[in-house]
């Protein structure tokens, strides 16, 4: 029973870290990264479809993305979807290729992006702590129902705390990397 609770907590923590990674990928750094377009949805014959499923996204150079839709008639829809997204990117089309030059980030924009990154990291921390709270509540219920002894309950709570501490440390490491990446000119 305790192992199931630990595994559930560990799984919850991994999901929080994956969500944080996805959120960090969407934060613009001034360098070309195809992951920035992950949230862009294109109208593909009446269905909203992720851009990765209708086009190839390539890194042309350090600051330019090249998007090549698989169907030539999809170029306007892909371009429209990128402009409608809240990423602040301006695509330029030449034939069946769409290019996106990543704009340089000003110091103020970098600071704003760092605030966004820190906010996302805090959301991940809260999620991890909620997982700990739920696991500890389950352990306390088991102790209350006499399915676990007090000592086993305390050991299990300590193990849950170790899992939580490890996840929080990883969040802090990821945030420090993202901060450094955003401040790099």
- Please name which of 60, 103, 53 lies closest in space to residue 78, comparing C-alpha atoms: 53
Q: How confident is the model over 10-24, as pLDDT tens digits? A: 999 999 999 999 888
Report the share of the chain in percent with pLDDT over 70: 98
* pTM (predicted TM-score): 0.72
**Domains, the chain, ranges and CATH?**
2-25+106-183 (1.10.132.20), 34-101 (3.30.1360.40)
pLDDT of residue 125: 96
Look at residue 176 and tell me whether its pLDDT is greater than 90: yes
pLDDT of residue 35: 80
């Amino acid at each position: 029973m305790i192992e199931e609770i630990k595994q559930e907590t560990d799984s919850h923590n991994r999901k929080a870290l994956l969500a944080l990674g996805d959120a960090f990928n969407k934060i613009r750094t001034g360098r070309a990264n195809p992951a920035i377009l992950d949230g862009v949805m294109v109208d593909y014959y009446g269905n909203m479809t992720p851009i990765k499923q209708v086009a190839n996204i390539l890194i042309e150079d350090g600051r330019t993305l090249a998007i090549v839709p698989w169907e030539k008639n999809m170029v306007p829809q892909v371009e429209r979807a990128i402009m409608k997204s809240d990423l602040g990117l301006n695509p330029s089309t030449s034939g069946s290729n769409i290019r996106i030059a990543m704009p340089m980030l000003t110091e103020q924009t970098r600071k704003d992006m760092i605030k966004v990154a820190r906010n996302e990291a805090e959301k991940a921390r809260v999620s991890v702590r909620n997982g700990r709270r739920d696991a500890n509540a389950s352990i306390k219920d088991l102790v209350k129902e006499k399915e676990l002894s007090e000592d086993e309950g305390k050991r299990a709570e300590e193990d849950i705390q170790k899992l939580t501490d490890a996840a929080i440390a990883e969040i802090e490491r990821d945030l420090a990397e993202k901060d450094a990446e955003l401040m790099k000119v």
